Amino acid sequence: MSSESGEDAREVRDGRDPEAVARFVERFASEMTEAGMQRMASRVFAALLADDDASMTSAELALALQISPAAVSGAINYLTQVSMVGREREPGSRRDRYRLHNEIWYTTFASRDRVLTRWEQTLRDGARTLGEHTPAGARIAETAAFFEFMQSELGAMMDRWEAHRKTLDLPTADGPAKA
């Protein structure tokens, strides 16, 4: 006799194989880890991404990922610091829910814009400090110019994405895309 958890039973009712979902979460988390994100943060992010509500409590994350509450806490701290996840209080409860921001990728890249601005300014100051015509100063000035270029391209790309997104026939949580 099977002892499915409530979450597993819901996924089976929804036509999802809980083991296949877990494999997807681990695979995507592995891809994110290879790209440089912390391992536990990658796993927590992927679990939230795969959740229909994009929202889970610490206990739900720990259970789904078979990790300790301390590991969840560390991952959530990182994800909130980089603006990928928000924390909200469950109404009438003392428990926090962790939720992906709406338009997560847009929000994440838009926040990078602010980081690039700070880096660019610091690098420009550094190039002046070192002397722009010294090898180190020239290298830092080029890095600042690269970040300036990236920032202008990122802003233009985000604008193009918004326009493009409106033309897409994307599925919704309610079923196929609306015509």
Q: Helix crossing, 18-34 with 39-50: angle to 10°?
A: 140
pTM above 0.85, yes or no: no
In Å, the largest CA–CA distance within the chain is 75
Task: Burial-class residue 30 by CB neighbours within 10 Å (0-12, 13-18, 19+).
Answer: middle
Cβ contact 140:123 at 8 Å: yes
Best CA proximity match to 84, nearest among 27, 43, 31: 43
Kindly report, residue by residue over 45-83, the tens digit of the pLDDT: 999 999 998 999 999 999 999 999 999 999 999 999 888
Kindly report, residue by residue over 120-156, the tens digit of the pLDDT: 999 999 999 999 899 999 999 999 999 899 888 888 8
